[in-house]
C-alpha cells in the first residue's frame, strides 16, 4: 500500500523559505524572505528568471565568480559565502535580489536538505534509482506513472550526486507524498552517504556495466558501489535488472530483509519482449510488450530502443506496488518523451534521420545504441558519429577497440576524441574511420556526406558536446 491515494494535482507554492534556511545554517539574510523552491541552480548558465542560485566551489571554477551572471539571467536570490560577496554586486542588486550569506555553501546545502528531510519525516515513500545506465529515463517513467495518483517530486535534471540530491530535496514542495531521487557515483562511498542521508524505501538498480572505472576499478567495483544503496535504513523493496548476471547472482545469494522484484528479457517477475520499431512522420517509436503472470501490456513508446523496456518494467512494478491501474500506467509511459540527448529521434529538413544520444556514453550504452542503429531499416545508409568515452582508466583502449570492432560494418563512421587513437589499428582501418580530435568540422562533413533517407547516430561522452554538430547540421533548433 502506498501513500494516501487521490487524483494528483500540482502542489501549491509551499516550500522552505530563505529565512528558515538562514536559521538552520547560521547564515545571514539580506533582502526579503522568499521560498527556496521551485528551482535552485548551481550552474549560472541554466538560471532562468525567478530561479535561485547557489555558488558552490568546484575543482576548476568557484561558483562565486558567476554570481553577477546569475543575477543578470534573472536569479531572484543567491546563496553564497561571507567574504566572497562583492560589495558592488550587493549594493547594486539588494533591492531586487535576496542574498543568503553563509560560512560554507556545500555545508549549508547539506544542512538545509537534512533539515527539510527531517521536517518531512512523514514522507511516505522515497524511490531511489541507481545503475550504470538508464537512471534518468527510469526516473521520468516512474514519476509519470506515480503522478497519476500521488503528489510526486522528482529531480529536474540528472541530479545524481549528493549535491544533486540535496538540490532536489530543497526544491521539494512540503506536501510531497513520494520523492524520487537518482543516486550515481564515480567513487566508493558516495551512494552510501546518499542512502544514509536520504534513505529510500524503494531502490531501483537499472544495470551494472563498465562505467567510471577510473574511480571504481572494475565491474566488481561498480557492483559494490551500486550495492551501497542497500544500506538504507528504510528499504522495503528492490527492483532490479534480472538480465545482469553479476547483479542477479549478488541479490539472489543474499538473505536480505527486503522484497525483490526482478525485471528482464530473460527472466523476472516482469518479463520484457521487443516488438521492433515503427517509423512515424517525424520520429521513431519503440514497441515493447511486458508480461506479469497471465497479463500482457503493450507499449508504443517515444523512448528510442528496447533498452528502455527496463524503465517501463520498473514503472509497472512501482505502479503495482502503489496501486496505480495498468491503463493509467500505459497512458503515462506512452506520454513520456526522451530528454534532450537521450534517444531523441527525428528527421532533418533534408530528409536525413538522426538519433540524438549525445548526452553521455559508456561501453554499455554505446553498444546498445549501435545495436539499435543496426536494427533499423531507414532505406538509406547507416552512419555514426561516436565521441570518446571518459573515465575508463586502464581499460580505455580495450573498450574503445570493442566499439570499433562492432561499428566497422556501418556505412560511414566518424570518431571524435583522443580516446580512439590507440584503439585504431592498421592504416587501412584509419582510412575506414574518419577521426577528429574534436567536433569542429564534423557538421560540414555530414552535410556533404549524408543524403535523404540516411540514418545517423550521434553518441559520446558529455565533454565532446556532440549536440553542437546536430545544431550546425540543421537537425536541431
Provide the 3-class DSSP secondary structure of residue 38.
coil
- Asked, for residue 5, whether it belongs to a domain, the answer is no
The confidence score (pLDDT) of residue 6 equals 42
- Say if residue 192's pLDDT is above 90: yes
- Asked, for residue 299, whether it belongs to a domain, the answer is yes
pLDDT bin (cut points 50, 70, 90) of residue 187 is confident
Structure confidence by residue, pLDDT tens digits, 119-166: 765 577 999 999 988 899 999 999 999 999 999 999 887 788 899 999
In this structure, the dihedral spanned by the alpha carbons of residues 406, 245, 162 and 147, taken in order and rounded to 10 degrees, is 90
Provide the 3-class DSSP secondary structure of residue 68.
helix
- Asked, for residue 317, whether it belongs to a domain, the answer is yes
Please state whether 276 falls in left (phi above 0), alpha (psi between -120 and 50) or beta: left
> Residue 47 maps to which CATH number?
3.40.1390.10
Segment 28-56 shows an average pLDDT of 93
Q: Which of 282, 310, 335 is the last residue of a domain?
A: 335
The confidence score (pLDDT) of residue 84 equals 84
The confidence score (pLDDT) of residue 12 equals 42
Structure confidence by residue, pLDDT tens digits, 293-313: 889 999 999 999 999 999 999
Q: Which of 335, 370, 402 is the last residue of a domain?
A: 335
**Could you tell me if 125 and 274 lie in one domain?**
yes
Round to whole Å and give the CA distance between 391 and 212: 5
Q: State the total domains in the chain.
A: 3
The confidence score (pLDDT) of residue 425 equals 73
> Residue 361 maps to which CATH number?
3.90.190.20
- Say if residue 405's pLDDT is above 70: yes
- Say if residue 182's pLDDT is above 80: yes
Segment 218-235 shows an average pLDDT of 92
Enclosing H/E stretch for 401? helix 396-407
**Could you tell me if 178 and 299 lie in one domain?**
yes
The confidence score (pLDDT) of residue 9 equals 38
* Ranges 207-216, 289-298, 329-338: which has the least confidence: 207-216
Please state whether 212 falls in left (phi above 0), alpha (psi between -120 and 50) or beta: left
- Asked, for residue 10, whether it belongs to a domain, the answer is no
- Asked, for residue 251, whether it belongs to a domain, the answer is yes
pLDDT bin (cut points 50, 70, 90) of residue 3 is low
- Asked, for residue 94, whether it belongs to a domain, the answer is yes
**Could you tell me if 187 and 325 lie in one domain?**
yes
**Could you tell me if 151 and 294 lie in one domain?**
yes
**Could you tell me if 330 and 353 lie in one domain?**
no
**Could you tell me if 58 and 32 lie in one domain?**
yes
The confidence score (pLDDT) of residue 1 equals 47
pLDDT bin (cut points 50, 70, 90) of residue 475 is low
Task: Provide the domain limits for residue 182.
Answer: 120-335
Q: Looking at per-residue confidence, does 211 or 241 come out higher?
A: 241
Closest to 207 in 3D by CA, of 281, 131, 143: 131
Round to whole Å and give the CA distance between 80 and 55: 5
**Could you tell me if 273 and 174 lie in one domain?**
yes
Q: Looking at per-residue confidence, does 340 or 13 come out higher?
A: 340
Provide the 3-class DSSP secondary structure of residue 102.
strand
Round to whole Å and give the CA distance between 28 and 80: 10
Round to whole Å and give the CA distance between 190 and 16: 26
Residues contacting 143, CB < 8 A, separation 6+: 152, 154, 180
Going along 47-117, which residue ranges are E strands?
Answer: 52-54, 77-81, 98-102
Q: Looking at per-residue confidence, does 79 or 175 come out higher?
A: 79
- Asked, for residue 114, whether it belongs to a domain, the answer is no
Residues contacting 445, CB < 8 A, separation 6+: 414, 434
Q: Which of 312, 335, 358 is the last residue of a domain?
A: 335
- Asked, for residue 11, whether it belongs to a domain, the answer is no
Round to whole Å and give the CA distance between 222 and 215: 9
The confidence score (pLDDT) of residue 311 equals 97
The confidence score (pLDDT) of residue 174 equals 85
Round to whole Å and give the CA distance between 316 and 43: 34
* Cβ pair 355, 185 in contact under 8 A: no
The confidence score (pLDDT) of residue 368 equals 93
The confidence score (pLDDT) of residue 4 equals 52
Segment 436-461 shows an average pLDDT of 91
The confidence score (pLDDT) of residue 88 equals 66
> In Å, how far are 52, 367, 390, 424, 470 from 400, measured between CA atoms?
41, 10, 10, 9, 23
pLDDT bin (cut points 50, 70, 90) of residue 2 is low
What does the mean pLDDT of the chain come to?
A: 89
Round to whole Å and give the CA distance between 113 and 165: 9
Segment 371-378 shows an average pLDDT of 92
**Could you tell me if 385 and 460 lie in one domain?**
yes
> Residue 129 maps to which CATH number?
3.40.1190.10
**Could you tell me if 326 and 352 lie in one domain?**
no
**Could you tell me if 413 and 296 lie in one domain?**
no
Q: What is the pTM of this model?
A: 0.86
Round to whole Å and give the CA distance between 400 and 392: 10
Provide the 3-class DSSP secondary structure of residue 308.
helix
Round to whole Å and give the CA distance between 398 and 417: 15
What is residue 234's DSSP assignment? Answer: T
- Say if residue 241's pLDDT is above 90: yes
**Could you tell me if 295 and 152 lie in one domain?**
yes
DSSP secondary structure string for all residues of 240-278: EETT-HHHHHHHHTS--SSEEEEEESSSSSEEEEEEEEE
**Could you tell me if 292 and 216 lie in one domain?**
yes
Amino acid at each position: 500500500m502506498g501513500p494516501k491515494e487521490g487524483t494528483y494535482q500540482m502542489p501549491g507554492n509551499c516550500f522552505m523559505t530563505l529565512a528558515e534556511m538562514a536559521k538552520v545554517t547560521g547564515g545571514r539574510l539580506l533582502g526579503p524572505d522568499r521560498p527556496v523552491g521551485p528551482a535552485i541552480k548551481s550552474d549560472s548558465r541554466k538560471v532562468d528568471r525567478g530561479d535561485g542560485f547557489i555558488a558552490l566551489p568546484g575543482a576548476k571554477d568557484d561558483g562565486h565568480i558567476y554570481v553577477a551572471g546569475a543575477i543578470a539571467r534573472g536569479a531572484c536570490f543567491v546563496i553564497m559565502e561571507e567574504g566572497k560577496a562583492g560589495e558592488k554586486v550587493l549594493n547594486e542588486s539588494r533591492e531586487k535580489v535576496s542574498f543568503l550569506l553563509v560560512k560554507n555553501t556545500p555545508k549549508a546545502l547539506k544542512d538545509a536538505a537534512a533539515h527539510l528531510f527531517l521536517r518531512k519525516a512523514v514522507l511516505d515513500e522515497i524511490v531511489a534509482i541507481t545503475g550504470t545506465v538508464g537512471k534518468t529515463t527510469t526516473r521520468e517513467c516512474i514519476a509519470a506513472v506515480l503522478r497519476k495518483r500521488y503528489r510526486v517530486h522528482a529531480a529536474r535534471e540528472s541530479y545524481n550526486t549528493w549535491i544533486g540530491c540535496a538540490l532536489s530535496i530543497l526544491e521539494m514542495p512540503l506536501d510531497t507524498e513520494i520523492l524520487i531521487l537518482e543516486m550515481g557515483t564515480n567513487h566508493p562511498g558516495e551512494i552510501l552517504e546518499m542512502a544514509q542521508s536520504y534513505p529510500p524505501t524503494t531502490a531501483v538498480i537499472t544495470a551494472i556495466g563498465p562505467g567510471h572505472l577510473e574511480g571504481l576499478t572494475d565491474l566488481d567495483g561498480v557492483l559494490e558501489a551500486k550495492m551501497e544503496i542497500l544500506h538504507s535504513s528504510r528499504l522495503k523493496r528492490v527492483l532490479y535488472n534480472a538480465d545482469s548476471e553479476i547483479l542477479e547472482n549478488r541479490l539472489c545469494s543474499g538473505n536480505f530483509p527486503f522484497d525483490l522484484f526482478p525485471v528482464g528479457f530473460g527472466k523476472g517477475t516482469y518479463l520484457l519482449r521487443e516488438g521492433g520499431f515503427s517509423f512515424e512522420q517525424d520520429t521513431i517509436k519503440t514497441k515493447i510488450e511486458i508480461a506479469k503472470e497471465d497479463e500482457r501490456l503493450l507499449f508504443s513508446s517515444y523512448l528510442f530502443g528496447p533498452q528502455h523496456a527496463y524503465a517501463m518494467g520498473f514503472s509497472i512494478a512501482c505502479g503495482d506496488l502503489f496501486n496505480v491501474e495498468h491503463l493509467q500506467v500505459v497512458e503515462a509511459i506512452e506520454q513520456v518523451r526522451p530528454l534532450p540527448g537521450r534517444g531523441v529521434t527525428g528527421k532533418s529538413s533534408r530528409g536525413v534521420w538522426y538519433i540524438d544520444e549525445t548526452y553521455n556514453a559508456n561501453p554499455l550504452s554505446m553498444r546498445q545504441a549501435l545495436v539499435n542503429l543496426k536494427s533499423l531499416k531507414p532505406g538509406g545508409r547507416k552512419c555514426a558519429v561516436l565521441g570518446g568515452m571518459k573515465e575508463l582508466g586502464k581499460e580505455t583502449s580495450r573498450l574503445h577497440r570493442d566499439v570499433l570492432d562492432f561499428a566497422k560494418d556501418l556505412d560511414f563512421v566518424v570518431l571524435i576524441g583522443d580516446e580512439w587513437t590507440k584503439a585504431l589499428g592498421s592504416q587501412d582501418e584509419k582510412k575506414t574511420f574518419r577521426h577528429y580530435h574534436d567536433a569542429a568540422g564534423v557538421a560540414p562533413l555530414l552535410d556533404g556526406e549524408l543524403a535523404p533517407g540516411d540514418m545517423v547516430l550521434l553518441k559520446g561522452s558529455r565533454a565532446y558536446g556532440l549536440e553542437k554538430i546536430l545544431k550546425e547540421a540543421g537537425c536541431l533548433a
